[in-house]
Structure 1
């Protein structure tokens, strides 16, 4: 009897561990910030960028914020203030609520020079979750006398994104600020939502995106953040915790609602 109880406890513990390992710490873990930058570099304009974000084979989004069992459509809307551009990636949860997912800030820093960063929304990510493109350079440091007295080290450097087609598009004369034509239940004919993957599967699929794009604690596009902040959109849904609880903000009357949801079986 004791042996049966032992194996039952071990089996239950193993199942619990596997479930926990496949649960994300933050809801935003189901959207690849690095992948979004990779697609933005690939796109020739904002319309194409939005299309790439919503194609399953590009492995960037695994978000189902409204819990209907299907991936949410991501819209992209642009903001411009002088030489600063912000692309807001968001999704509609119903007819009246929209939740921002991330923002891409682009700032022109000189003649044919521009910086770019993407930042996850704090409702879905930990505060100050920022990613940016990186390049690797070799740096030689003299360590003594003689021809071999050098130490070679690799350092990550900030990338000038001015020559990305999508960035050049934003700075072309006559550019019209992009507004997505899509909203709740109004989607392009080509788009077919798919069911979310298990997070471990999705994370593996996003691995290639993390080669040339990395997280950083430093916010370099300060002006872009200031331009975006007063225009931020957030829904009542905040985050799906490890226990499957949907936390809801206070409404206008100050009432707070907590809705418990069951985890769905995923691929």
Structure 2
């Protein structure tokens, strides 16, 4: 009788152990899938953009460095064609506040604003604020920093003297002679580059704007139709497009959709630094 009780207990403990292991494995698989998915916002670190604006001399220089693979600040691939998107710079503003709109063309007449940079002059110094586009970054995504003179904001000497606004002549199918397209780096590699680029920067994240002037970007409200990369707050037309044309990360099991093939791909991607088209 005692032996039968012992046998039953052994069987029960065995079932519990197997169930626990299976549950943990399922949980691990779920977590791998979640971490493998990347969003459009992962392709352009706004703090790194803020650090860059303090080092460039004019908007043309800003555009050149944003699209330089050796600088590595831009890793956007909104249409997931395995090529980093070319970022255009458009200048706007008034006497005491200047702005730059950063946008991407995903086709003829199909423009997506990605972020804006606003610079306000206050005496010998002022403030710089980088704002992420709502569709890409979600609501209330700002980075702000003060500047105390030309030594901390080289571009100020250009901005606040008379000059025509810079409007990038480039875009879909039209690129400067020096430009060479490049593939997106892995998300791990990009995060490392972005951290290095913003190292020592005094930009801090904010949930709302701290600027006193309201200047409007000429690209405000421009949302590209064929964005495949996951968005934080897509428009109705973008939602419709993404439903018909899901992101590669979603199709491979991103956002917690566990499948055997997606788990194997995610596990490989993690060990190899998300090699391929990740951000």
Further displaced range: 185-194 or 46-55: 185-194
Residues 67 and 227 of structure 1, relative CA distance in 2, 3 Å threshold: same
Describe the SS at the equivalent of 1:43: coil
- The answer for the alignment partner of 1:219 in structure 2 is 209
After the TM superposition, which residues 70-109 of structure 1 pair with which residues of structure 2 at under 5 Å, given as runs? Answer: 70-109=83-122
RMSD: 3.2
Residues 232 and 221 of structure 1, relative CA distance in 2, 3 Å threshold: farther
- The answer for the alignment partner of 1:22 in structure 2 is 36
Alpha-carbon distance, 1:237 to partner? 4.9
Query: What are the Cα deviations for residues 1-34 of structure 1, in whole angstroms up to 9, with x where unaligned?
Result: x99999888666545433422323x421220111
In the alignment, which of 191, 207, 210 is matched to residue 203 of structure 1? Answer: 191
Give the number of the structure whose residues are more often helix, by fraction. Answer: 2
- The answer for the alignment partner of 1:130 in structure 2 is 142
Q: Distance between the aligned counterparts of 1:121 and 1:210, measured in 2?
A: 23
Q: Distance between the aligned counterparts of 2:148 and 2:209, measured in 1?
A: 15
- The answer for the alignment partner of 1:186 in structure 2 is 174
Alignment gaps of 5+ in structure 1: 134-157
The two structures have a TM-score, normalised by structure 2, of 0.72
Query: What are the Cα deviations for residues 233-260 of structure 1, in whole angstroms up to 9, with x where unaligned?
Result: 2222567349xx9966339xxx944222
Which one has a bigger Cα radius of gyration? 2
CA contact (8 A) 2:104 2:113 kept: yes
Q: Distance between the aligned counterparts of 1:227 and 1:36, measured in 2?
A: 20
Query: What are the Cα deviations for residues 200-226 of structure 1, in whole angstroms up to 9, with x where unaligned?
Result: 331122112154122123412242x44
Q: Distance between the aligned counterparts of 1:35 and 1:168, measured in 2?
A: 21
Give the number of the structure whose residues are more often strand, by fraction. Answer: 1
In the alignment, which of 248, 252, 261 is matched to residue 262 of structure 1? Answer: 248
Q: Distance between the aligned counterparts of 1:11 and 1:36, measured in 2?
A: 39
CA contact (8 A) 1:238 1:246 kept: no
The two structures have a TM-score, normalised by structure 1, of 0.74
- The answer for the alignment partner of 1:32 in structure 2 is 45
Alpha-carbon distance, 1:116 to partner? 1.1
Describe the SS at the equivalent of 1:49: helix
Aligned residues: 234
After the TM superposition, which residues 59-74 of structure 1 pair with which residues of structure 2 at under 5 Å, given as runs? Answer: 59-74=72-87
Q: Distance between the aligned counterparts of 1:98 and 1:87, measured in 2?
A: 15
